[in-house]
Amino acid sequence: MKQSIPLFMFASLILLLSGCATNTNQSTLASNESGSFLNQYPTRDRVDYVLNCVAKHGGLNYVNQYACGCKIDKIAEKLTFKDYEEAVTFGFMSKTAGENGSAFRDPQQAKELKKRIQAAEDDAEQSCFVK
């Protein structure tokens, strides 16, 4: 006997998927018009940042999880995702020893992005963590 997906389930799935696509586009447009970069950061990168931040601040608990989530939101208010991604890449690759790492350490763009991300992280740290 052949089984098929009921029509109402198929229709619901189509509506759900089309609604997700519409909402994503609308939120991106809204963020671009308001000047905020908050919705341009992919979830994967946000989660990665929060997990690294939580580990750096002593482990997973509610306070660290909330503060680290706040921190990436504050950074997203100051840097486009493109600038954030480039700054993280330059920072990671600048640790490459010798001549190979100089391509990531020496350019003026790398130095400027390092200053910008450090300033954004410092402001976010002060705003989000209770001292």
Dihedral sign, Cα of residue 108, residue 113, residue 114, residue 118: positive
Tell me the pLDDT tens digit for each residue of 97-114: 988 888 888 889 989 999
- Please write the tens of the pLDDT for every residue from 60-98: 999 999 999 999 999 999 999 999 999 999 999 988 998
Using an 8 Å Cβ cutoff, are 113 and 79 in contact? no
Cα dihedral 27, 29, 34, 39 sign: positive
CA distance 126 to 33: 27
| 58 CB-contact burial (10 Å; exposed 0-12 / middle 13-18 / buried 19+) | exposed
- Give the pLDDT mean for 8-16: 38
Would you state the structure tokens that stand for residue 67, as one six-digit string? 């503060």
Is-contact 49 68, C-beta < 8 A? yes
3-state helix vs strand vs coil in the chain, percent to 5: 80, 0, 20
pLDDT digits (tens, 9 = 90+) for 112-123: 999 999 999 999
Is this structure's pTM higher than 0.75? no
Please check whether residue 70 is in contact with residue 128, taking contact to mean a CB–CB distance below 8 angstroms. Answer: yes
> What's the CA gap between 106 and 131, in Å, rounded?
35
